[in-house]
Amino acid sequence: MIGIDPVIEEILNDALAGKEIDRNGALDLMGATDGEYHALCNVANELRRRSVGDAVTFVSNRNIYSTNICSASCKFCSFRSEDGYVVDTKDILEHCATRGITEVCMQGGLHPDLDTDHYIGIIRSIKEKFPNLHIHAFSPAEIDNMAKISGYSHKDVLLMLKEAGLGSIPGTAAEILDDRVRALICPEKIDTSTWVEIVKIAHKVGIPSTSTIMYGHIESIENRVDHILLLREIQKETGGFTEFIPLSFIPGNKLGQEYKIMGATGVEDVKMIAVSRLLLNDLMPNIQAAWVKLGRKLAQTMLLCGANDLGGTLYKENISKASGGIHGEYISVDELKRMVEPLGRVLVQRDTLYNHLEAP
């Protein structure tokens, strides 16, 4: 490859040959510039094609925020309120009736009083009225909070939620899986080992999860790489992650103001997707470009840099909006088609577990 550092060229060739990229190689790729950057994207795009083909997937879902009352005080969150709300089950059921959705994604704050029985009741109510609706709910931090309030183990909580009808959990609350960073941005939230423990238990009792990273704030490049590699090791052990979702930090919150952060650059966003593809391709083939964080144009570009999924239609995405997100709360199928078709790719609806449903 003309004009490319021989070290980068060797790493890219190894990736194309199916060899596992180590930490040093990943750090080298994160530092790619100019022609190396373009070569990285081309290799990521080729690996995407080999792994999942040319389908670009999405899920038709509805977000429900069960409560914005939270005992934590994460500096990146503008959604929390000490005098907030708890959504009534009747209202949750009305949200679940949104036409055409296959998934309801429910998350909320770490409420100091709502125990496991409260959430089991919600899940049972949803499944009774909408038996075919997939319930994707409760981050590892919420699972830990339920366990502490109820006096149960993490495994007990997960098994009870599964028995009630929980289908999968979001791999959020991960932020950056480094306790030195977490002590600065989310000191009351679960530590890295607890997050890993809960996710592994979930996978082993038959509850799959997504995986995420929140980048572009005070973390280092090394933190980003180590986070992805930790997810890779978990996936080797459990096989329970359905996808990887890089979440670009939106700085309209206390963390952004305190550290005068502007967020990741577009080049950093692209590298995150591309390098993730090279590190995770065979183990976790679904890499999502989160349009609500990146915007429609950059998310479209990510489809040429290793991403194969555009996430959900969302319906009322409020977390990003609260931190200054400007890319909206909902995206239509027509808008998704407009992003995909100019690339010569096919938009395909999927369910939460990446079973393809239909081309809309």
Planar angle of CA 93, 94, 97, nearest 5 degrees: 90
DSSP-derived 3-state class of residue 353 = coil
Instruction: List pLDDT tens digits, range 289-328.
Output: 999 999 999 999 999 999 999 999 865 444 444 434 444 5
Q: How far is CA 114 from the centre of its chain?
A: 25
Round to whole Å and give the CA distance between 349 and 351.
Answer: 7
Instruction: List pLDDT tens digits, range 104-121.
Output: 999 999 999 999 999 999
Instruction: List pLDDT tens digits, range 128-166.
Output: 999 999 999 999 999 999 999 999 999 999 999 999 999
Q: In what order do the strands lie in the sheet with 346-350?
A: 309-312, 55-59, 346-350, 356-358
Q: What is the pLDDT of residue 252?
A: 85
Instruction: List pLDDT tens digits, range 162-191.
Output: 999 999 999 999 999 999 999 999 999 999
Arithmetic mean of pLDDT, 64-68: 93
Q: What is the pLDDT of residue 78?
A: 78
Q: What is the pLDDT of residue 318?
A: 44
Q: What is the pLDDT of residue 358?
A: 73
What tokens were used for 232?
């890779």
Round to whole Å and give the CA distance between 185 and 189.
Answer: 9
Contacts of 92 (CB under 8 A, 6+ apart): 64, 66, 106, 122, 125, 126
Which CATH superfamily hosts domain 54-358? Aldolase class I (3.20.20.70)
- 86 φ/ψ angles, rounded to the nearest 5 degrees: -125, 120
* Greatest Cα-to-Cα distance within the chain, rounded to the nearest angstrom: 62
| E-strand stretches of the chain | 55-59, 61-65, 103-107, 134-137, 209-215, 241-248, 309-312, 346-350, 356-358
Round to whole Å and give the CA distance between 134 and 102.
Answer: 6
How many other C-beta atoms can be found within 10 angstroms of the C-beta atom of residue 88? 11
- Could you tell me the CA-to-CA distances from 212 to 8, 63, 175, 238 in Å, in that order? 26, 17, 7, 16
pTM, entire model:
0.94
Instruction: List pLDDT tens digits, range 224-244.
Output: 999 999 999 999 999 999 999
Q: What is the pLDDT of residue 182?
A: 97
Token pair 């699972």 in the structure block, residue? 143
Q: Over pLDDT 70: what percentage of the chain?
A: 94
Instruction: List pLDDT tens digits, range 5-47.
Output: 999 999 999 999 999 999 999 999 999 998 899 999 999 999 9
Q: Over pLDDT 90: what percentage of the chain?
A: 88
